[in-house]
Structure 1
Amino acid sequence: MSCAPVHVNLGFAAGVLFALLVFFIFQQEAAISGLDVATRVAVAQWITLEQLIRAPGATQLIKAPGEVVASDMQRTADIQLIQGSDNSKVVCNREGLSRDWSETCEVDGDVRTNGTALSVTLVPASRSERREWMISPYARGGQKLRSVTLTQLQDRSIAPPCTLTHTMPAVLFGLGGYVGNYWHDYTDILVPLFVASRRYHGEVTFLVSNIQHLPPWLVKYKALLQGLSKYEIVDMDRDAYVRCFPRVTVGLHLDKELTIVPELVPGGRLTMADFTQFVRETYALPRGAPTREADKKPRLLLIHRGDFRRFLNEHEILQAAEAAGFEAPVLSELRVNGSDVEQARLVNTFDVVLGVHGAGLTNAVHLPPGGVLIQVVPYGNMEYLARAEFSQGATDMGLKYLDYSISADESSLMEKLGPEHPAIKDPESIHRSGWENMFELYLKQNVRINTTRFAPTLLQAFDHLRQQQGA
């Protein structure tokens, strides 16, 4: 009898210990989960009006050429597949949401679109579960565009009847957001649209919403759009028809800034080099390689900015470029409604594009492979932001990427604020204070390059091009 209480006490103690262990494990998991959410929120707060800023301690997203990192790959949790009994399906990719990019969905089966309602409906052959999604037609999140209502119906009998039937697939996307900025034109729409539609070899219809946001956009890029689709663009906001398609891609998916992750391309691998080749063919750009003739100087294009992030000593920079062996004229930035074809053909006559961080560097898309992009990085620990937008993209285009970071003495901020200002002494404190301060200080400065300090970068670009001659 005296042993019984001992067994009871031991059992009770074991139970308490087990409960405490379970509680501790769940607390740790909750802490880890909370940290992940907090990290995502912190990262989301660094999404700027144009690009992603690294929060203190965040992981570097730039990868070496050819390297595939975990963040590049689709995770099972990010892919949502809804399969019907008749092989109709909705596959939604949520991989970009953690970076404040939009969710995209591919819908296969009996798919019907209603332009004025901005809706896409999957009609099942037999009774099915009703599902609904709200999808932004623009690649970046947080934009004030009307969302697309994507619905999987329960019953075929309630489906809207077709007024037009198409045998080819469709891609639905919207204008808006940052459209009109040259970098965003390519990064947010043209490159993702190429990825979404190239597999169809022109047999695809583009359904475009919010065209009234910037009507000249479709004119400016008409040649590229016609190079991807043989059919007239459908203005969804004015389309009164119920159109029936075998497949509709809703929204454009961003994999990385101004580049393509081949492993994530639907229907087969594509690269950024494939995109620039498509642009050269569509625009009939004459040069597919840098200057080959030994008696000809390679040509350097200096991007001139008219507002901020200007070169304050353009003439001295051009002289330094000529001393390094280049022919170096100047070009103003592309006008918002200018001809993209004419601009591309002009840029293609050069071997090097040089400019301060900004949309004008997107002109590197039109350089011949083997050319050089030199990005001048403004003062203020802005290397991560600058490289995130252009380094990997330029490398994937087949270009040599170089950058030159401005010192405090080369920045207009030194004269304006003085050496004791936090923007000069402690750039990280400005980063922590928020995007608005960063933009006002670091992205509205001008630069006066020390051409002696800059000379090695110019020589590195020149040597690269000379090596191309022997290739």
Structure 2
Amino acid sequence: MMRAEGKAARSANRSSPWKSSYVAYGLLLGSLLVLLYLMVSTQFSYSQKATVDDAGRGMEEFSREQEEEEKAKAHTEPSTPRRQGNEMKSDNWEAKSQAKNEETAESDKFGGGTDDYNNVANTKPICDTSFGKYDICELAGDTRAQGGPGATVTLVSPRAPPKEWQIKPYSRKYLDGLKAVTVKSVPNPGDVPQCTTQLNIPAMVIELGGLTGNYWHDFTDVLVPLFIGARRFNGEVQLLVVNLLPFWVDRYKRIFGQISRHDIVDFENDDGAVRCYPHVVVGYGSRKEFTIDPSLDETGGDYTMVDFTKFLRHAYSLPRDRPIKLGDVRPLGGRRRRPRMIILERTNSRKILNLPEVIAAAEAAGFKVIVAGRPKASYDEFTREMNSFDVMVGVHGAGLTNCVYLPTGAVLLQIVPYGRLEEIARTDFGDPARDMGLRYIEYSVAAEESSLMGVFGKEHPMIKDPAAIHLSGWGNVAEWYLGKQDVRINVERFRPSLLRALEHLQ
């Protein structure tokens, strides 16, 4: 046993120096590996940091360049602030327009117009021809209007690509006989003649003619659209008129005088002149008949039909803004004042055959009744007379257009002839009356109250099936329901409508 232990001890003594050497070598090799790892890690970390720093500097430079680019745009492109009241709403009409100081900039001596080319709305076309009823063009910048038989309005701007439109500047472009104005954009001032005159105000190119001369169309097609397009300029706009009708303009001279404080230009006969403006509108119209819809019509000031009637009262110096209020009426000489009613008398079709009975029923209800036909006084005096009434009554027709002169809150009672004409009646007068702030009442004539009953008999489709007559075409509707029908009002059936009118004045 002792011999075995001695042998093992000797073996262990012989191997220990070798083991010590291995340990030393291992420690040295480990140290070298750790050092190498630290050196590589440090270099990689530095490279990574450099890359991140370079990327950060690149983003900072990109952001700074982008910010500088946006600042440059702010100086060269139009802003679109909203303005209130009578000022323009620039996001729709003048993203496009110049600031006031730009509008007053003078042209150079070579007749170049306004030098500011940067206010051109390059995000939408100059002309919008997408609507089937009318076209509108907005030219902001160096704009030159040349009259004559081939009237042309040209925008000069290096940012506007060459383009051309043929525009009929009337509110119903689909009508025959209208005259077109050429609207162009060109990049080079040398492509158009130099200015012969210049005004630092906007201009508006419109056309008369069309259906002008029909009283309802006078307002629906011209006067209301003109208010929509020009009121935002507060009188500082010049009208360039194609197919100028001097006698017609003279009839409505007070309205035109409020629209523009400047001379009207007979654009069609303005040969030889090159009129330069900082802004020109070509065309006008309204989305709905005989009314203004601020959500659809770009008025530049959120104007409504109530604003239009106020505008008329101001133009004609009409005294009454509100109708009589029965609860506030004091006895005068022992007798109470009665609300004034006008009944419009027609002389061709849609006559009230028993007018004396209707008058008697209205007087019995408590009204002071006046019957009016075609005005015999001057138009100014006529508007003043219309403004004096609290209630207007009439069979569907152009005479009801006079409701524009009633005070806000007055009553319009429309008698609708037989033949399913209610939708037409509401479109032409019912909805506009409500938009004017009037109280609207509709009385639909029954078959027994129509003169057509005696012509056709109750079994004829004209009486029995008006819907079929409408489907047969507008010609039959216009000829018979509108052109050859009179009415005999059943006063008992009519009396509730008179009482409703009275209630609206309480």
Q: Same fold (TM over 0.5)?
A: yes
Confirm whether residue 102 of structure 1 aligns to residue 134 of structure 2: yes
Point out the more displaced range, 360-369 or 264-273.
264-273
Q: Show CA shifts across 1:390-414 (max 9, x none).
A: 1121111110011111111111100
Letter in 2 for 1:448: R
Check conservation: 1:209, 1:237, Cα contact below 8 A.
yes
Confirm whether residue 236 of structure 1 aligns to residue 267 of structure 2: yes
Confirm whether residue 224 of structure 1 aligns to residue 259 of structure 2: no
Per the alignment, in what secondary structure is the counterpart of residue 449 of structure 1? coil
Identify which of 236, 260, 280 aligns with 1:248.
Answer: 280
Check conservation: 2:198, 2:277, Cα contact below 8 A.
yes
Letter in 1 for 2:362: A
Check conservation: 2:147, 2:269, Cα contact below 8 A.
yes
Letter in 2 for 1:429: A
Task: Give 2:127's aligned residue.
Answer: 92
- Evaluate the alpha carbon distance shift between residue 274 and residue 153 of structure 1 in structure 2; reply closer, same or farther with a 3 A threshold: same
State the Cα RMSD in Å: 2.0
Per the alignment, in what secondary structure is the counterpart of residue 328 of structure 1? strand
The alpha-carbon deviation at position 96 of structure 1 amounts to 3.6
- Evaluate the alpha carbon distance shift between residue 127 and residue 198 of structure 1 in structure 2; reply closer, same or farther with a 3 A threshold: closer
Per the alignment, in what secondary structure is the counterpart of residue 219 of structure 1? helix
Confirm whether residue 464 of structure 1 aligns to residue 504 of structure 2: yes
Check conservation: 1:220, 1:339, Cα contact below 8 A.
no
Check conservation: 1:350, 1:367, Cα contact below 8 A.
yes
Per the alignment, in what secondary structure is the counterpart of residue 505 of structure 2? helix
Check conservation: 2:120, 2:159, Cα contact below 8 A.
no
Task: Give 1:298's aligned residue.
Answer: 339
Task: Give 1:41's aligned residue.
Answer: none
Per the alignment, in what secondary structure is the counterpart of residue 394 of structure 2? strand
Query: 2: distance between equivalents of 1:415 and 1:152?
Result: 62
The alpha-carbon deviation at position 92 of structure 1 amounts to 3.1
- Identical residues among aligned pairs (%): 47
How many residue pairs get matched? 379
Query: 1: distance between equivalents of 2:278 and 2:487?
Result: 54
Task: Give 1:329's aligned residue.
Answer: 370
Runs of 4+, deviation exceeding 6 Å? none
Task: Give 1:166's aligned residue.
Answer: 199
Identify which of 400, 417, 424 aligns with 1:361.
Answer: 400
Letter in 2 for 1:173: I
Query: 2: distance between equivalents of 1:266 and 1:366?
Result: 21
Q: Which structure is larger by alpha-carbon Rg, 1 or 2?
A: 2
Query: 2: distance between equivalents of 1:173 and 1:200?
Result: 15
Task: Give 2:388's aligned residue.
Answer: 349
Per the alignment, in what secondary structure is the counterpart of residue 459 of structure 2? coil
Instruction: Describe how 1:443-454 pairs up with structure 2 within 5 A.
Output: 443-444=482-483, 445-454=485-494
Q: TM-score, normalised by structure 2?
A: 0.72
Higher relative contact order (CA closer than 8 Å, sequence separation 6+): 1
The alpha-carbon deviation at position 333 of structure 1 amounts to 3.2
Task: Give 1:418's aligned residue.
Answer: 457
Confirm whether residue 184 of structure 1 aligns to residue 184 of structure 2: no
Q: TM-score, normalised by structure 1?
A: 0.77
Query: 2: distance between equivalents of 1:286 and 1:96?
Result: 39
Check conservation: 1:298, 1:325, Cα contact below 8 A.
yes
Letter in 1 for 2:253: K
The alpha-carbon deviation at position 342 of structure 1 amounts to 1.8
Check conservation: 1:127, 1:156, Cα contact below 8 A.
no
Check conservation: 1:96, 1:255, Cα contact below 8 A.
no
Task: Give 1:317's aligned residue.
Answer: 358
